[in-house]
Every structure is written in C-alpha cells, then in structure tokens.
Amino acid sequence: MSIIEEWGELNKLRFSPQKTCMLPITYRRRLRLADTPVVNLYGQPIRAVAEMKYLGVIWDGGLIFHAHFKDRKVAIDSLFYRLTLTVCK
C-alpha cells in the first residue's frame, strides 16, 4: 500500500480509507472474511468485503459472478414484465 500512497502523492491524489475496500479473491473458499490480512492505507485499516460493484459488474471473492447474474436477471425480468404490459394494452 505504500507504493499506492507514494504514487498518489506524486500525482497529487489522496485516497479515502473510509471509502476504500478490499476484495480478497480466493479459490475454493480457503480464506474467510474474518481471516483476511490487515491492510492499512495512511495508517487506517481497510475493510474487507465479500462482493463489490465496479464498472457495473458485481465482483465476488471467487470470481463466479453469481450475484451479478442474479441482479441482471431481476432487471431483465422487470423490464420484460413492463414490456409485456405495454404490448398487451
């Protein structure tokens, strides 16, 4: 993280430790959120999350995207329902 802090200072950027989160990517669920390593940014710990949304895609720790597909299915079903009501009128 010190490299990121130095790069930010060099480019006149400062990152918010409260808004920054860490997504541990694991395979076969070997690492739990309770056992994640402590990562500090500007001396403050960064919180670990199970999933996060980045560029419209919901990323999870196993890179399996179940939450993203479920979210997209709900949006498509809602759109399809509204379209069906409009066409039936």
- Give the total number of structural domains in the chain: 1
Its domain, for residue 33, covers 3-88
Q: Give the list of residues 6+ apart from residue 29 with CB closer than 8 angstroms, or none.
A: 62
How far is the C-alpha of 67 from the C-alpha of 77, rounded, in Å?
A: 15
Is the distance from CB of 86 to CB of 78 less than 8 angstroms? Answer: no
pLDDT at 24: 85
The one-digit pLDDT tens for each residue of the chain (89 residues) are 888 889 999 999 999 889 988 888 877 766 676 677 888 999 899 988 888 888 988 988 888 888 899 999 999 999 999 999 888 87
